[in-house]
Structures are given as structure tokens and as C-alpha cells.
Amino acid sequence: MEVILEVKNLSKKFGGFEALKGVNLSVKKGTIHALIGPNGAGKTTLLNIINGLESPTEGEIFFEGKKINHLSVEKRAQLGLGRTFQLLEIFGDLTVLENIKVALFAKSSWGLLKSFFLGKSFNPFERELEKEAFSLLQIVGLSHKALELAKNLPAGEQKLLEICRALALKPKLLLLDEPAAGLNTRETKELGLILTQIKKNLDVTILIVEHDMELVMRISDVITVLNFGEVLSEGTPLQIQKDSKVIKAYLGEEL
């Protein structure tokens, strides 16, 4: 299987503190790859370095075989590296549909010019956007809420909207940082199904940091376990559940 993301010998120091120590990670195209580990293990730091929010102290990052260390967050997004953040970043006072249209609009600079010239009254481009926005909303199961204000959605649906917005930017690899945080059991199940759908139907590879072990074990193809900034173990959900090193690292936390 083709590798979409390769992280080589990555280290990150915050002052004298080593948050990541020689991490190697290889994410295969078409998989859901989970990154787990106790609090403070370095998971968010690793995601931030992959998408360009922070720079590594040492090491290399390759996306589709191309070294991306020197590229900005925006440039990486253009190449197909998408992400959502722990904090919601949707526009509460826009409708669900408008939130997706804004993202689709932002993706298309061609559209920007075009809609300028076509004006508001007759705008086939906008109709195109709307169609595309609807089909994305369908994928995350939110099309029936298209006309509601985003701020009026329950937490679980806001999370889905946030993921939908990331999808509007057409990522090849989607980075998710604890998408199930704050969701109830039913919403978490739903999220798992939707992530599996996204992988299958949109051909998006997913690298997910997640605390909810039931979700991780249910949807992941591969799991990498970080502990104190180092890769402790890697394998399928079954292999990870049986790994005594992993169980030991999680003592005191629920697995």
C-alpha cells in the first residue's frame, strides 16, 4: 500500500523539555490511522508539526513523497493536508449550509472571480456550490439541518459540521484531534460510522488522535501508541489491546 505521510526521526523541544523524541510514523493511503497515548504523550504536538503549526527541532515530514518541512500551513492545506482543531471554528451566526459554502468558496479562487462578475441575481456558480455543499452535508448526515444556524446545533452535530468544513477543502489526509471529546455515546458511535464512510466514499486518509478507546478500536486500521514523546507500539487494534507495554503505559487511565 502506498504511503501518504511519512514522519522521520522527529523531535521537538520546548525549552529543555523533549515533547517528541525521534518519532517515526508512516501512514498508508486509504487507512484510518489512530494516534493514542496517555495525556502529555505528544500527540497534539505531532499533529501540529505535521500540519505546520509548529516546526520540529529535528526530523523530516514527507507528504506524498514530497518533503514539506519548509511549507506553511496554507501551502500544506493546498497540497491536501486538512485538519480540524480541538476548539470549534465554525461560524455560529451562519447557517449550516452557509458554513460549508464559505469553505467551498474559499477553496476555489476561480469561483471568487467568477461570482464577482456574475453578480448575485443570477449565479450558476453559487448554485453549484450549494449542490456540492448539500452532498457534503449528506455524507456527515447533516443535510436535514442545512438551514439552521450553526450555533443552534447540539455539540455532536457541531463537531460533524466542523469535519464537513474540513472536507470541503478536499483534503487527501484529514488530521483530527480528539473529535469525540464532549460527545455522548450515541454521537460517538455516529461519528465512527461517518469517519468510516468518509474513508470509503471520499477516498480520504484519516490520522486521528482520540481518547475514546472504543471508537479507536472500532474504526482504526492501524494504531500508533505514543508515550513520553516516543513510539511505544504500533499495530492493529487487536495487537494493541494485547500489548503488555501499552497496558502498562495506560495503568491508572481507562483503556
Ligand X SMILES: Nc1ncnc2c1ncn2[C@@H]1O[C@H](COP(=O)(O)OP(=O)(O)O)[C@@H](O)[C@H]1O
Kindly list the residues in this chain that would bind ligand X in the complex (CB under 6 A). 14, 17, 19, 37, 39-45
**Under the criterion CB under 5 A, does residue 227 sit at the interface with Mg ion?**
no
Query: Of 44 and 205, which has the nearer Cβ to Mg ion?
Result: 44
Query: Of 102 and 181, which has the nearer Cβ to ligand X?
Result: 181
14 interacts with, out of Mg ion, ligand X, none, CB within 5 to 8 A per kind: ligand X
40 interacts with, out of ligand X, Mg ion, none, CB within 5 to 8 A per kind: ligand X
CB 129 within 8 A of CB 204: no
188 interacts with, out of ligand X, Mg ion, none, CB within 5 to 8 A per kind: none
Give CA 81 to chain center in angstroms: 9
Smallest distance, ligand X to C-beta of residue 241, A = 20
247 interacts with, out of ligand X, Mg ion, none, CB within 5 to 8 A per kind: none
Query: Of 46 and 167, which has the nearer Cβ to ligand X?
Result: 46
Smallest distance, ligand X to C-beta of residue 220, A = 17
Query: Of 54 and 126, which has the nearer Cβ to ligand X?
Result: 54
What are the DSSP calls for 7-35, one per residue?
EEEEEEEETTEEEEEEEEEEEETT-EEEE
Smallest distance, ligand X to C-beta of residue 141, A = 28
39 interacts with, out of ligand X, Mg ion, none, CB within 5 to 8 A per kind: ligand X
Smallest distance, ligand X to C-beta of residue 110, A = 38
37 interacts with, out of ligand X, Mg ion, none, CB within 5 to 8 A per kind: ligand X
DSSP 182: T
Smallest distance, Mg ion to C-beta of residue 43, A = 5
Smallest distance, ligand X to C-beta of residue 27, A = 17
- Binding to Mg ion (CB under 5 A) within 30-49 occurs at 44
Among 98, 102, 196, 213, CA closest to 147: 98
Distance CA 61, CA 5 (A): 7
Distance CA 27, CA 17 (A): 27
CB 197 within 8 A of CB 167: no
Characterize 60-81 residue by residue with b for buried, 16 or more Cβ atoms within 10 angstroms of its Cβ, and e for exposed: ebbbbeeebeebeeeebbeebb
- CA 185, 252, 13, 209: dihedral to nearest 10 degrees? -20
